[in-house]
Amino acid sequence: MQQNNDSVDGLIVVNKPRGMTSFDVVAKVRRAIGQKRVGHAGTLDPNVDGVLVIALGKATKLVDELQARPKRYIGSITFGFATETEDLDGAVISKINIDEPFDDAAIDAAIAHLNGAIKQVPPMFSAVKVGGKRLYEYARAGEIVERPVRDAVIYNYKRTSDVIYDNQQQKFNFEATVSKGTYIRTLAVDTGRQLGVPATMTSLTRTMGSGITIAQATDLDKIVTSERAELLKLIIPIKDILTWPTKVLSDSEWFAVKNGQKMTLWPASDTYLQLTYHDDLKAVYAYNKEDNVWQSRYVFTNE
């Protein structure tokens, strides 16, 4: 990779194809942009396509904030069988014939029950760590361990197609807007569990990540074949990513901020502040309610 001395700071939104890991996408973007400091906000499984938000340069500091924002998916769920991975990648571990298909009202009631704050048990084939090892490592070794229960919020989960009954299985499409930490595969399994049948996520596309929709995404093929000058036109600047109130710093305030000092004279707040000096975004400060001070949360430059 030819390293470029002009570091790019911001986001580039990729429409990830299926059959590729998120790490693979990061590696390709890193080569295309010509810089090492590249990360992503929210892993997509290899068999899932759609929005993958890539952070470049100083924007990598914001990955935790970007991951905390809601995500939206579309996909399909099939009743009648379950797999070890909760999607089509794994071996079938349970199968039944649905001789009397559920009507739309029953399926919609099961979906409605899963809207709001819920508890989920992550799939064995996931990256959650237990005892210093990831669950998929235990799964591949044939070991079963107790999995932690996780909180998730399902903001809007709904059926978006007719229910098809075929070969003693039922299948339908859905859309779901969810919080960080939600396992969509598990949401499919939980939907079937509401009705007492095995279920599998049979297709999945992320249509929004970090508040950015698929309409703003660029196909990976275009990114890897474009000249760098064209790629720079696709970059979303850091100032366009953040939505917090902005404070313009005085000379004395900028001196304090660039030296990492806590600020006590600013009004109390329950949010963050973007701090600018001479029209340049310098840092983000967060209000600490316990100590009644503003303190550094993200620093983009001290210059």
70 contacts: CB under 8 Å, gap ≥ 6: 155, 177, 178, 179, 180, 208, 211
> How close are the terminal C-alpha atoms of the chain, in Å?
29
pLDDT of residue 133 exceeding 90:
no
Structural domain contains residue 2:
no
Structural domain contains residue 118:
yes
By the 10 Å C-beta count (0-12 exposed, 13-18 middle, 19+ buried), 285 is classed as: buried
β-pairing verdict for 133-134 and 92-95: unpaired
Question: Are 103 and 185 in a shared domain?
Answer: yes
The whole model's pTM is what?
Answer: 0.88
What tokens appear for 265 in the block? Answer: 């004279």
From the list 77, 76, 50, the residue with the least C-alpha distance to 206 is 50
Looking up residue 270, the CATH number of its domain turns out to be 2.30.130.10
Structural domain contains residue 165:
yes
What tokens appear for 24 in the block? Answer: 């693979």
**pLDDT value of position 270:** 81
What tokens appear for 245 in the block? Answer: 């109130």
Beta strands in 187-231 (DSSP E): 199-209, 212-213, 218-219
**pLDDT value of position 124:** 67
Please tell me which residue in 45, 49, 87, 190 is annotated as part of the active site. 45
pLDDT of residue 141 exceeding 80:
no
Stretch 109-124: mean pLDDT, rounded?
Answer: 91
Q: Confidence class of residue 1 from pLDDT cuts 50, 70 and 90?
A: very low
Out of 116-120, 142-146, 292-296, 299-303, pick the least confident.
142-146
Rounded CA gap, 203 and 181, in Å? 19
Structural domain contains residue 22:
yes
Q: Look at the block and give the residue holding tokens 């503003």.
A: 294
pLDDT tens sequence across 50-104: 999 999 999 999 999 999 999 999 999 999 999 988 999 888 989 999 999 999 9
Is 45 one of the catalytic residues?
yes
**pLDDT value of position 234:** 94
Give the domain-ending residue among 172, 200, 228.
200
Give the domain-ending residue among 148, 180, 200.
200
Rounded CA gap, 10 and 180, in Å? 21
**C-beta of residue 72 within 8 angstroms of C-beta of residue 208:** yes
Question: Are 132 and 251 in a shared domain?
Answer: no
Question: Are 134 and 231 in a shared domain?
Answer: no
**C-beta of residue 191 within 8 angstroms of C-beta of residue 183:** no
Question: Are 79 and 189 in a shared domain?
Answer: yes
Provide the mean pLDDT of the chain: 91
Give the highest mean pLDDT range of 6-20, 34-48, 96-110. Answer: 96-110
Q: Confidence class of residue 31 from pLDDT cuts 50, 70 and 90?
A: very high
Give the domain-ending residue among 239, 256, 289.
239
pLDDT of residue 2 exceeding 80:
no
Question: Are 164 and 248 in a shared domain?
Answer: no
pLDDT of residue 122 exceeding 80:
no
pLDDT of residue 155 exceeding 60:
yes
- Say how many domains are in the chain: 3
β-pairing verdict for 199-209 and 49-56: parallel
Structural domain contains residue 81:
yes
What tokens appear for 219 in the block? Answer: 């196909």
**C-beta of residue 13 within 8 angstroms of C-beta of residue 52:** yes
Q: Confidence class of residue 198 from pLDDT cuts 50, 70 and 90?
A: very high
Q: Confidence class of residue 292 from pLDDT cuts 50, 70 and 90?
A: very high
Question: Are 224 and 279 in a shared domain?
Answer: no
pLDDT tens sequence across 227-270: 989 999 999 999 888 989 999 999 999 999 999 999 999 998 88
Q: What 3-state class would DSSP assign to 192? A: helix
Question: Are 268 and 295 in a shared domain?
Answer: yes
Q: Confidence class of residue 42 from pLDDT cuts 50, 70 and 90?
A: confident
Question: Could you please report the per-residue DSSP string of 56-122?
Answer: EGGGGGGHHHHHTS-EEEEEEEEESEEETTSBTTSPEEEE---SSPPPHHHHHHHHHHTSEEEEE--
Domain range for 218 is: 10-69+211-239
Question: Are 82 and 34 in a shared domain?
Answer: no
What does each C-alpha distance from 210 to 43, 62, 243, 244 come to in angstroms? 12, 11, 12, 15
pLDDT of residue 3 exceeding 60:
no
Looking up residue 34, the CATH number of its domain turns out to be 3.30.2350.10
What tokens appear for 121 in the block? Answer: 């048990």
Question: Are 154 and 57 in a shared domain?
Answer: no
Q: Confidence class of residue 128 from pLDDT cuts 50, 70 and 90?
A: low
Rounded CA gap, 208 and 220, in Å? 16
